[in-house]
Structures are given as structure tokens and as C-alpha cells.
Amino acid sequence: MNHMATEPLFDLLSYARNGPGRRARLSPAEIQQIARTVNRTPEVMVKLLSKGATTLKAVRKHLDYISRKGDLDIETDDGRTVSGDDLADELIEDWDLDLDDHRRRSDLTARGSKEPPRLVHKVIFSMPAGTPPAKVLGAVRNFCREEFALKHRYVMALHTDEPHPHVHVVLKAISEQGQRLNIRKATLREWRSEFARHLREFGVPANATDRFIRGETNPQKLDGIFRAMRDPNRISTHVRARVKAVAGKLLRGGLPDEPGKGKLVKTRREVENAWLEVGRVLRRAGHHESADKVGKFIGLMAPPLTENQQIAAELQGCKRGKAGEEVATNRPRTLMR
């Protein structure tokens, strides 16, 4: 049985609604997730890489990357461990990706489309530093077995060269039954929940909640920016440029009003109201300690700031160099952590 079909994801905002649809009670699973959230249990990350999945050359390059050109063991969907210089070519042949590519090109010509569909999906499952890598791999293995076995071909590789252990999964976009897998935001949200569940079964504290529910407003980044921000030995040119731009505005009198600020404030107000109602529901059910923790959780939420406002707060909190230029040049590495 698919676990995702039997245990709905926690919908915080449903507790702030008025009228007949308003929630008045919490299930045991929801109470457990609330406890994990307010106790700041480590959050899982599941990220879909958007580039390099539409050509055989790009797929081969990514397989070489996750296998370190054959030096690193790759685990297949049938439980085998494989490696070697010819690994990428062998997988492309085994998965019939060359045939998929030929059919896809024929369809593109017939439809006159310019956007080729993906041959594979590239997904990263990650946990914070300190999580046992073997348990991360085990959780991803069990997740993939439940979700994709006998449907989509896949391989996975554990990487431990960065502080946060993470597993790369390459998933064939066309199933064995000829159905294409389309991954949407809701899909990733469900995958995060399942990944966290599998980690907990290994005894690893793990949670999966949306960022806005936790009161976080850090914006999403593109893949290249994200990798640079996670690597302490690299400086993101994107972040450097943003820091310099904000420093210049501060020197000229301050940040102008931003269109997205109003939406951030409105969302935060809705989130706080929903958490307040959850606290009241918990208290009515006799969970007084949990209700108290919800109150403290709300009080410790950082203020809703745009990315520019967050950068400005960092800059204003450090010692200034030459008219802010030195700060703007050297601060990005700190901001990226």
C-alpha cells in the first residue's frame, strides 16, 4: 500500500479558517508533526535539478558526475552495486534511453515543439551535517523501492564529500508501462514527507514542513546558486552581486519598498493565526505542554524579511570597511552559510 495515500500531510492553514471547514481536532500523526516542528527537528531536503536531463550527452555527464566517472559505487533499482568507466553508457543502453530519445525527437518534429521532455529526473535527497550517511542512503533506498519499484528504473549514489550527506537519484522519466512521470511541487512535498518518515524508521530525527510554516522567508535559489551557497570553499557570484547592490542602496539612504514585502507580511500573519488556533486546539484537548511550546515557537519566529532586507540586516550588523565596499566584497561568504 502506498503510505502517502493513507496519511494526509499536515495542513496548518486549515486551522485558521472560519466557517464549516474549520478544523477542531488533531490526529495523533498531526500532533507528532507539530511536536517535531516546534522542537526544530532537522528538516529533510528533496530537490529536483532542472538542468541537464533532456539529452543523452547531459544524462551521461550527470551519471559520470554522481559516480565520479566510475570510481564511486552506484546502487541500481534491482539492488546491485555497480561501478566502472563504462557505467554511464551501460545504464543508458540498459534503460533504452537511446530509443526514448529517438521517439521523443520524432514526436517533437511531428508536433513542432521546441521544448524536449526530460529523459530522466535528477533528484537530491539531503540531510543536515551530522546525520549518519548510511541511514540517509537506507532511507532513500526504502523510499525509492516503495515509490518506483517495477515502475521506473533508477540508480542512486551516496555523496559524503560535503558536510551534509546526500544521495543523488537518477530516475527514468518514462515508466516500464510507458507512462511519463511529471514531478510537481505537490509531488516534492509528498516525497519530503515520505523521506522523513523513512529516516525516522531508522531512528533519525527528521521532519518535513514547508518553510513558511516554520516562519522562514529565505528565497529559493537556482541550482548553480544553491550549490555555491552550500560549498564553504566557493563564493556565489549571485550573492556577491546582491550584497554589493544592497550595500550601495544603504549608502544612498536605505532600501526602497519592495512589492513582495506585503505578501510576506500577509502570509506571516496567516501562519501566526493558524499556529495560535493550533495551540488552542491542543489546550482544549489537554495537551497543555505542547500548547505552551507552540506559543514559544511563534514568539521565536524571525521577522518576515525580503532577501534584500536580510542582506541589509547582515551588513548593518558587521563593522563597515571603506564606505561599505569592503563589507560588500567580503561579506558574501558569511551570508552564504
Asked whether the beta carbons of 84 and 68 are under 8 A apart, the reply is no
Reported as a single tens digit per residue, the pLDDT across 84-95 is 989 999 999 999
- Burial string for 48-80 (b: 16+ CB within 10 Å, else e) reads bbeebbbeeebbbebbebbbeebebebbebeee
Quote the pLDDT of residue 9. Answer: 61
Measured distance CA(276)–CA(196) in Å, rounded: 25
Quote the pLDDT of residue 111. Answer: 57
Measured distance CA(213)–CA(195) in Å, rounded: 19
Flag whether pLDDT at 197 surpasses 80.
yes
Quote the pLDDT of residue 7. Answer: 45
In this predicted model, which residue has the larger pLDDT, 277 or 237?
A: 277
- CA-closest candidate to residue 304, choices 334, 262, 333, 335: 262
Reported as a single tens digit per residue, the pLDDT across 296-313 is 999 999 888 887 877 777
- CA-closest candidate to residue 126, choices 92, 163, 172: 163
Quote the pLDDT of residue 316. Answer: 75
Within 13 Å and on the Cβ side, how many CA atoms surround 301?
25
Sorted by where each starts, the structural domains of the chain and their CATH numbers stand as 45-201 (3.30.930.30)
Quote the pLDDT of residue 112. Answer: 55
> Mean pLDDT, to the nearest integer, of 248-269?
82
Measured distance CA(34)–CA(336) in Å, rounded: 29
Reported as a single tens digit per residue, the pLDDT across 201-254 is 999 999 999 988 998 876 555 444 445 445 555 566 767 787 888 787 777 777
Measured distance CA(204)–CA(251) in Å, rounded: 47
